[in-house]
């Protein structure tokens, strides 16, 4: 049994109510009593007020004859509630800064439809309202959402936990000249009325609810694939994603039919806080992967893979997050291997293996972080965002790879196909996964279980001894260059002919401690500070800070002002705050840049900077 913590209902709106509320798995929702099967949204998008307003109609079934339904909501005004068309008296419980507050509506055994009239606040954390200047084309405003992990409740009153699935439909009214898109069947063209209708007929968890509104165009890429982007980005994006249709085809060939109809990607403005988000039908992506050389498209393979691991078979709680991400990184690598070949895919895996080791080493020496090196997390009473580390992704992936290594690819692939198909549109816990693994795979050979030793991986801290080390022939060439440079300090001898983004990353991550002058020489030869590849820039600026090379400060400031992807921001800011002087600079840059960052990035950085 998981511990639960309790929150006292303060009883705001309509009379006092001092009942204790249970919070389990980050939701107030009483989902074991009341089932939500469908949500219909009717919302107006107001860019001036930075608000969504309208109604959410929830189809419900009162399974246990409960006397109330409890919903999650945060940073929104509730303007009224109805039960089966009749006005209802609702109560709002005590506010918690992570979870928001419970919204309690009395129901009877027969109740079928709950209507909530509401209006979101300008600071609703899921939503980022961008001014025209914050977009690529700088002509029209833009709105996008990011609901994972528990932010759907800031723009829709619902039960906000991955264990709960529902279908949805929506009518969205937007200003003229803008297109609305959701994680559902989407329009490809604007209409004069600015009213768009959506339907998602497959049941999804709340964290996959998504909306974007902006001046975007569509370009078809293949049979069931396409890309949406601002007009000034659409051609570049279509070129970059040339392999998207073949990714979908490869994924289907590997692990079974794609369940969601179309697969499109929306390229967002640069403040998008993640690399990608697997919103069904429509992946949301950072523009920083449009590198001009197709070198960062593994991110699309990753988000596409979530169409199976995550969107079909969903982590039941955020403690089981590794089931979503570990499987997805594994699957991503298989797609990359199928399209680009074994050597290329192994180079990416080897690079990640290095990162995993670095993450483990740093988390293991911090008593607070050490327990979070387990695959199965304990996030009760914490923000699920705390679980978003390399552990779920990379330790998860290497665990699955270790199973493949023991049982052989043929058995493993057959198991995964069965796992996805038997558990489609269901949730999965770590415990049930282990059980499923034992009953459907490990039972075939008595030696396998001992070799795999899943307990060490899932419930143990750090990395099991037998975690694979990856040899990449490509990266060995870079290692040789690093060894030579470490001895000779001769920049001229570093031969980068044929380097891809990943060779560069490996080089930067393995260079020895250097003086500011040596950094300057490196920069002079390769023009790194002025580069255009965000992944490389991110590593380069960390190196600049670490080695006291201040000549790159202006470029670094520009970079931190122009991207909002948390994965790039945090390591650079973290490097900066290691010295008193650096910390001053970090706070100064943050104050200048934060209006361009999404709420989830702002929160992480404020925590880190202690402001
Ligand atoms: N689902 C995640 C993003 C996420 C996780 C958002 C948890 C909020 C909470 C997405 O699939 C993801 O993993 N994105 C990565 C890219 C990937 C290639 C590792 C990212 O954003 O960097
Ligand atoms: Zn992911």
pLDDT at 16: 38
Q: Is the CB of 72 under 6 A from ligand 1?
A: no
Residue 193: band (very low, low, confident or very high) from pLDDT cuts 50, 70, 90: very high
**CATH code of 149's domain:** 2.60.40.1730
Minimum-distance ligand 1 atom for the alpha carbon of 303? 11
Q: Is the CB of 275 under 6 A from ligand 1?
A: yes
Question: What is the residue with the minimal CA distance to atom 18 of ligand 1?
Answer: 299
Query: In the chain, how many domains are there?
Result: 3
Cβ neighbours, 10 Å, residue 318: 26
Q: Are residues 146 and 85 in the same domain?
A: yes
User: Residues 424-450: what's their mean pLDDT?
Assistant: 98
Tell me if 534 sits within 8 A of 505, measured CB to CB. no
Minimum-distance ligand 1 atom for the alpha carbon of 275? 21
Tell me if 475 sits within 8 A of 506, measured CB to CB. yes
Ligand 1 geometric centre to CA of 275 (Å): 6
User: Residues 286-313: what's their mean pLDDT?
Assistant: 98
List 220's β-bridge partners, or say none: 226
- DSSP result, 95-117: -BTTTBEEEEEE--TT--EEEEE
Gap between the Cα atoms of 228 and 436, Å rounded: 39
pLDDT at 13: 44
pLDDT at 20: 56
Strand ordering across the sheet containing 263-267: 217-220, 225-229, 263-267, 282-285, 276-277
Gap between the Cα atoms of 569 and 563, Å rounded: 8
Minimum-distance ligand 1 atom for the alpha carbon of 385? 9
Residues near 211 by beta carbon (within 8 Å), at least 6 away in sequence = 143, 144, 145, 155, 170, 172, 180, 181, 182
Minimum-distance ligand 1 atom for the alpha carbon of 388? 7
Q: Is the CB of 299 under 6 A from ligand 1?
A: yes
Gap between the Cα atoms of 388 and 603, Å rounded: 14
Phi/psi for 518 (5° steps) reads: -65, -35
Look at residue 467 and tell me if it is in a domain: yes
Q: Are residues 431 and 517 in the same domain?
A: no
Phi/psi for 556 (5° steps) reads: -65, -40
Name which of 17-26, 164-173, 333-342, 472-481 the model is least confident about: 17-26
pLDDT at 254: 98
Q: Are residues 323 and 464 in the same domain?
A: yes
Which domain range does residue 560 map to?
513-609
Active site amino acids: 303, 393
pLDDT at 466: 87
Question: What is the residue with the minimal CA distance to atom 16 of ligand 1?
Answer: 275
Q: Is the CB of 272 under 6 A from ligand 1?
A: no
At 487-498, the pLDDT tens digits run 999 999 999 999
Strand ordering across the sheet containing 68-73: 68-73, 101-106, 91-92
Q: Are residues 352 and 446 in the same domain?
A: yes
> Is residue 403 scored above 50 in pLDDT?
yes
Q: Is the CB of 306 under 6 A from ligand 1?
A: yes
> Is residue 307 scored above 70 in pLDDT?
yes
Residue where a domain stops, chosen among 172, 190, 215: 215
Ligand 2 geometric centre to CA of 444 (Å): 31
Q: Which of 275, 280, 571 to mutate to test the pocket of ligand 1 (most atoms within 8 A of CB)?
A: 275
User: Residues 203-231: what's their mean pLDDT?
Assistant: 98
Look at residue 481 and tell me if it is in a domain: no
Phi/psi for 215 (5° steps) reads: -85, 85
Q: Are residues 151 and 22 in the same domain?
A: yes
Q: Are residues 89 and 164 in the same domain?
A: yes
Question: What is the residue with the minimal CA distance to atom 11 of ligand 1?
Answer: 277
Q: Is the CB of 370 under 6 A from ligand 1?
A: no
pLDDT at 178: 98
pLDDT at 15: 38
Q: Is the CB of 303 under 6 A from ligand 1?
A: yes
Record the tokens describing residue 548, joined without a space.
Answer: 């006291």
Q: Are residues 526 and 450 in the same domain?
A: no
User: Residues 319-345: what's their mean pLDDT?
Assistant: 98
Look at residue 225 and tell me if it is in a domain: no
Helices 342-364 and 501-510 meet at what angle, rounded to 10? Answer: 30
- DSSP result, 321-370: HHHHHHHHHHHHHHHHHHHH-HHHHHHHHHHHHHHHHHHHHHHHTSTTTG
Ligand 1 geometric centre to CA of 374 (Å): 19
Q: Are residues 195 and 87 in the same domain?
A: yes
Ligand 2 geometric centre to CA of 85 (Å): 40
Q: Are residues 348 and 440 in the same domain?
A: yes
At 409-423, the pLDDT tens digits run 999 999 999 999 999
Gap between the Cα atoms of 146 and 564, Å rounded: 13
Minimum-distance ligand 1 atom for the alpha carbon of 273? 21
**CATH code of 585's domain:** 1.25.40.320
Ligand 1 geometric centre to CA of 567 (Å): 9
Q: Which ligand is nearest to the CA of 328?
A: 2
Q: Is the CB of 392 under 6 A from ligand 1?
A: no
DSSP state of 421: H
Q: Which ligand is nearest to the CA of 601?
A: 1
Q: Which of 145, 276, 298 to mutate to test the pocket of ligand 1 (most atoms within 8 A of CB)?
A: 276
What's the Cα-to-Cα distance from 280 to each of 144, 211, 264, rounded to whole Å? 15, 11, 9
Look at residue 261 and tell me if it is in a domain: no
Q: Is the CB of 149 under 6 A from ligand 1?
A: yes
> Is residue 29 scored above 70 in pLDDT?
yes
> Is residue 12 scored above 60 in pLDDT?
no
Look at residue 327 and tell me if it is in a domain: yes
Gap between the Cα atoms of 396 and 375, Å rounded: 7
Look at residue 283 and tell me if it is in a domain: no
Could you tell me what percent of the chain has a pLDDT over 90?
96
Q: Are residues 60 and 182 in the same domain?
A: yes
pLDDT at 4: 40
Q: Is the CB of 276 under 6 A from ligand 1?
A: yes
Ligand 2 geometric centre to CA of 277 (Å): 7
Q: Is the CB of 148 under 6 A from ligand 1?
A: yes
User: Residues 379-406: what's their mean pLDDT?
Assistant: 97
Q: Which of 126, 161, 277 to mutate to test the pocket of ligand 1 (most atoms within 8 A of CB)?
A: 277
Q: Of 417, 426, 224, which is closest to residue 310 (Cα–Cα)?
A: 426
Rg (CA), the chain: 25
Tell me if 330 sits within 8 A of 303, measured CB to CB. no
At 237-280, the pLDDT tens digits run 999 999 999 999 999 999 999 999 999 999 999 999 999 999 99
Q: Are residues 373 and 441 in the same domain?
A: yes
Look at residue 232 and tell me if it is in a domain: no
Q: Are residues 517 and 439 in the same domain?
A: no
User: Residues 580-588: what's their mean pLDDT?
Assistant: 98
pLDDT at 7: 43
Residue where a domain stops, chosen among 172, 192, 215: 215
Residue where a domain stops, chosen among 443, 471, 499: 471
User: Is pLDDT larger for residue 265 or for residue 14?
Assistant: 265
User: Residues 301-320: what's their mean pLDDT?
Assistant: 98
Tell me if 261 sits within 8 A of 224, measured CB to CB. yes
Look at residue 253 and tell me if it is in a domain: no
Q: Is the CB of 282 under 6 A from ligand 1?
A: no
Ligand 2 geometric centre to CA of 538 (Å): 20
**CATH code of 463's domain:** 1.10.390.10
């Amino acid at each position: 049994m998981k511990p639960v913590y309790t929150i006292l209902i303060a009883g705001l709106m309509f009379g006092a109510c001092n009942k204790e509320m249970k919070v389990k798995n980050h939701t107030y929702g009483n989902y074991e009593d009341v089932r939500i099967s469908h949500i219909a949204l009717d919302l107006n998008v107001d860019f001036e007020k930075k608000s969504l307003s309208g109604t959410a109609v929830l189809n419900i079934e009162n399974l246990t004859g409960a006397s109330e339904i409890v919903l999650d909501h945060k940073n929104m005004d509730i303007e009224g509630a109805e039960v089966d068309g009749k006005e209802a008296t609702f109560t709002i419980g005590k506010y918690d800064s992570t979870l928001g507050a419970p919204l309690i509506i009395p129901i009877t055994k027969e109740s079928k439809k709950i209507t909530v009239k509401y209006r979101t606040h300008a600071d609703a954390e899921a939503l980022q309202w961008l001014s025209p200047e914050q977009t690529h084309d700088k002509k029209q405003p833009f709105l996008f959402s990011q609901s994972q992990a528990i932010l759907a409740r800031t723009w829709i009153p619902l039960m906000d936990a991955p264990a709960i699935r529902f279908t949805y439909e929506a009518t969205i009214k937007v200003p003229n000249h803008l297109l609305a898109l959701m994680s559902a069947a989407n329009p490809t063209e604007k209409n004069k009325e600015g009213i768009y209708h959506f339907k998602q007929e497959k049941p999804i968890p709340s964290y996959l609810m998504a909306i974007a509104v902006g001046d975007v165009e569509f370009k078809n890429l293949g049979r069931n694939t396409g890309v949406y982007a601002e007009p000034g980005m659409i051609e570049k994006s279509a070129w970059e994603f040339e392999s998207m249709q073949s990714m979908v085809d490869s994924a289907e060939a590997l692990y079974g039919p794609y369940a969601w109809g179309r697969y499109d990607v929306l390229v967002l403005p640069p403040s998008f806080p993640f690399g990608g988000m697997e919103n069904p039908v429509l992946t949301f992506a950072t523009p920083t992967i449009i590198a001009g050389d197709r070198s960062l498209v593994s991110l699309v393979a990753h988000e596409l893979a979530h169409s199976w691991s995550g969107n079909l078979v969903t982590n039941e709680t955020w403690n089981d997050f590794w089931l979503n991400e570990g499987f997805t990184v594994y699957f991503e690598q298989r797609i990359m291997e199928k399209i680009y070949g074994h050597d290329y895919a192994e180079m990416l895996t080897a690079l990640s293996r290095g990162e995993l080791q670095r993450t483990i080493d740093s988390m293991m020496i911090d008593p607070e972080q050490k327990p979070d090196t387990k695959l199965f997390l304990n996030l009760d009473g914490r923000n699920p965002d705390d679980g978003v580390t390399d552990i779920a992704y990379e330790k998860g992936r290497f665990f699955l790879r270790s199973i493949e290594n023991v049982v052989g690819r043929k058995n493993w692939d057959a198991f995964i196909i069965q796992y996805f198909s038997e558990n489609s549109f269901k949730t999965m816990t770590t415990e049930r996964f282990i059980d499923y693994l034992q009953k459907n795979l490990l039972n075939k050979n008595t030696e396998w279980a001992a070799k795999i030793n899943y307990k060490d991986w899932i419930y143990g801290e750090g990395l099991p001894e037998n975690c694979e080390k990856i040899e990449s022939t490509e990266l060995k060439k870079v290692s040789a260059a690093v060894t030579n440079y470490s001895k000779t300090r001769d920049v001229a001898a570093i031969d980068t002919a044929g380097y891809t983004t990943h060779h560069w990353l490996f080089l930067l991550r393995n260079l020895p401690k250097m003086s500011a002058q040596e950094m300057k020489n490196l920069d002079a030869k390769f023009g790194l500070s002025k580069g255009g590849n965000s992944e490389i820039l991110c590593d380069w600026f960390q190196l600049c800070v670490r080695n006291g090379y201040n000549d790159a400060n202006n470029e670094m400031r520009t970079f931190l002002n122009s991207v909002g992807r948390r994965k790039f921001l945090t390591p650079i800011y973290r490097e900066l705050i290691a010295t008193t002087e650096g910390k001053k600079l970090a706070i100064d840059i943050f104050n200048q840049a934060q209006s361009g960052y999404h709420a989830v990035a702002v929160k992480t950085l404020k925590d880190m900077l202690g402001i």
